[in-house]
Amino acid sequence: MQEDCAAGGCSCSGSDQPSGSLKRLGWQEYFMSVAHLISRRATCTRAHIGAVIVRDNNILSTGYNGAPSGLPHCDETNCRIYRSTHPDGTVEENCVNTIHAEINAIAQAAKHGVSIKDADIYITASPCIHCLKVLINVGIKTIYYDKPYKLEHIDELVRLSGIRLVQVHGDEQ
């Protein structure tokens, strides 16, 4: 092989990337792309969200939104929506059957005995207020998200908690 390269028979350019290949993803883009890929497993008919918990550039746990393990998934007849009113008067709609991606990622880590304290999370959408409170309590330091979701409902908790909220755009798979 080295002889072929020396003779100009390969595309090695001395860099980490072969010539003509796509640009290598940075860590943030990589983990957000993984979150988008994971979101394709979601069983919620209203939104497909993926989450990846990471520490030191290593994936610790993943999750997507859907029904608890072994229970029926949402479909046109099984999606049970409940409405609640936020203090500012906006109406929030959630499904009784669905566990959010962030909570599923936390549950998977707990199930397998993986510590997520001082880790970061990548989510395809910013967390709802309930997930944010849990992320604060488990010790997540930075939340990376792609699409904003009702940021005005979480801005005060983000500020008070000191957790970092960073938007990172990722390619949907």
Give the position of tokens 């990337």: 17
8 Å CB contact between 145 and 124: yes
Instruction: Please say if 172 is a catalytic residue.
Output: no
- The structure's pTM equals 0.82
Binding site listing: 100, 128, 131
User: For residues 63 and 109, what is the distance between their CA atoms, to the nearest angstrom?
Assistant: 10
Q: What is the pLDDT of residue 91?
A: 81
Q: What is the pLDDT of residue 80?
A: 78
**How many other CB atoms are found less than 10 A from the CB of residue 115?**
12
Out of 29, 92, 102, 156, the active site residue is 102
The more confident residue out of 16 and 149 is: 149
pLDDT, tens digit (0-9, with 9 covering 90-100), for 102-147: 999 999 999 999 999 999 999 999 999 999 999 999 999 999 999 9
Q: What is the pLDDT of residue 11?
A: 46
5 has a pLDDT exceeding 70: no
User: For residues 2 and 58, what is the distance between their CA atoms, to the nearest angstrom?
Assistant: 33
Most confident residue range from 12-26, 104-118, 157-171:
104-118
User: Domains in the chain, start-ordered, CATH in brackets?
Assistant: 27-65+100-167 (3.40.140.10)
Binding site listing for Zn(2+): 100, 128, 131
Altogether, the residues listed in the chain come to a count of 173
